[in-house]
Structure 1
Amino acid sequence: MAPVREKRIPGKGYREMVRALIVVAAGLLAGCAIPADAPNVPDLAASVPAAPAGLRASPDRPPSPEVAQETTPLPPSPTRILDQDAALRLRGNGGITLQWIGWEDRGPVDIRQNGGVMILRGMQNAQGGPGKLLVEGRVTEIGPDYFILDGLVSIVDTPDEGRLCRQRRTNWRFAVTQNRKYWRLREFEWCDLLTDYIDIYF
């Protein structure tokens, strides 16, 4: 004859804990406060072991080097000079013109070195009128008959008042063609379909 297993009846403490959890759950579902006469609920969070001291967050700890490096901008690359004679001609340039303002009165072009980076700024203002030309930025590369500019080209109030053309790019290309004595911007209709001739002389 097989032995009869004895049924175990939950003790009083177990029944009280179940009852307490039911009361708390019902209160949360109903959006109500826990009744004052509810049985004591065991503190479950107290039984979770604390994290090791080395893993705890510290408000005074500085950010890791990896995080700090992500917010630091990289310095610009030096100008690539593929032709030293061309670089000398650009440094000793003879000014800048936009045909709407005129070819006779050239504006100045300033070239300065910032470390290994060549910075260009040229401008021409109309005599007795509002027209203005501005070309400025970083020269990223100089070849035998061209240079590349990363920066701004701006034409204002010429040939007509109210015209405004301003654009920043990383690849403005100025080039010498047909043995002429100037670099000409090779984007002629970059703004509003008017043909602009921007020339830097040497």
Structure 2
Amino acid sequence: MRSAQRTAAGRGGYIGPTALRCILPGISAFLLSVLLAGCAAQGLEDYEPSVNPPGSAVPQTPLPQPLPTASPSTTSGAQDPAIAPTTIRDRTAARRLRENSGVTLQWIGWDQRGFARVTVGDDGVYRLNAAQPSFDGVGGMSLSGVVTEIGSDYFLFDGRIVIVGTPDAERYCADNRLWRFGVTQNRKYWRLREFEWCDELTDYIDIYF
């Protein structure tokens, strides 16, 4: 027993049983800390951070998309509650407007009329969409909006008028407002009464009946 204790002590000399009982717990704690430190170091060596290579795209989490909503044209019987029904002061004139025979802008020509489509919704609103393309396929004229009032020799149009590329290729006119179309001298068309609404040129926009 003493020889084993001397061998374990090495150069430190003889270690008694009481001393061994005091030293062994400390040695065990030290060895445990060394082992844990080694494991931790090995874990750091094996760890590879998830970093994208330079220049690669960083994956993004897709944002939630809004639910689709139905457009007014696809909703059964849907009408815009903000638009009042068209005021009809002359039913014969209202019928003529619904059954019109086209639209022209003098810069494009009178020989080949464009279309002027008038529809009446369940809400009693007259809607007007018209267009006349230029013969060369570049530019043209268009109207889009609602008719707010129809009289015996006039109607009021609340909407947008656009003229593009006529009579000059670089010309562009567009405005959204309340317009007046009127019949004068018993002619068979309503003519826009704002003649120089865009620039110094005079525009004759006519809708025929």
Give the TM-score category using the shorter length: 0.5 to 0.7
Look up the equivalent residue of 1:113 and give its one-letter code: V
* Structure 1 residue 112, shift from structure 2 partner: 0.7
Q: Give 1:113 deviation, angstroms.
A: 1.3
Q: Is the 1:131–1:159 contact (alpha carbons within 8 Å) kept by the matching residues of 2? A: no
- 1:175 is aligned to 2:158: no
User: Which protein has the bigger helix share?
Assistant: 2
Which of 100, 106, 109 aligns to 1:102? It is 109
Task: Give me the identity figure in percent.
Answer: 57
Separation in 1, partners of 2:166, 2:106: 10
Q: Could you tell me which residue of structure 2 aligns to residue 150 of structure 1?
A: 158
- The one-letter code matched in structure 1 to 2:87 is R
Distance 2:81 2:129 in 1: 23
Is structure 2 residue 129 aligned with structure 1 residue 125?
Answer: no
Aligned to 1:27: none
- RMSD of the TM alignment (CA)? 1.1
Alignment of 1:9-158 (within 5 A): 75-114=82-121, 115-158=123-166
Q: 1:185 aligns with which of 164, 186, 192?
A: 192
Q: Give secondary structure in 2 for the equivalent of 1:93.
A: coil
Q: 1:160 aligns with which of 139, 163, 168?
A: 168
CA-CA distance at 1:128 after TM superposition: 1.8
Counterpart of 1:85 in 2: which secondary structure?
helix
- In the alignment, structure 2 segments of 5+ residues that lack a partner are 1-79
Runs of 4+ in structure 1 off by over 3 angstroms are: none
Larger Rg over CA atoms: 2
Quote how far apart the aligned CAs of 1:184 are: 0.1
What is the number of equivalent residue pairs in this alignment? 129
CA distance in 2, matches of 1:145, 1:179: 9
Other-structure match for 1:6: none
Q: Which runs of 5 or more residues in structure 1 are unaligned?
A: 1-72
Contact 1:101-1:131 at 8 Å conserved across structures: no
Distance of 2:81 and 2:120 partners within structure 1 = 18
Given residue 95 of structure 2, which amino acid in structure 1 is its aligned partner? L
Counterpart secondary structure, 1:101: coil
Deviation of residue 129 (structure 1)? 3.9
The Cα of 1:74 is off from its aligned counterpart by 5.0
Deviations, residues 145-186 of structure 1 (Å, cap 9, x unaligned): 0000000010000001110000000x2000000000000000
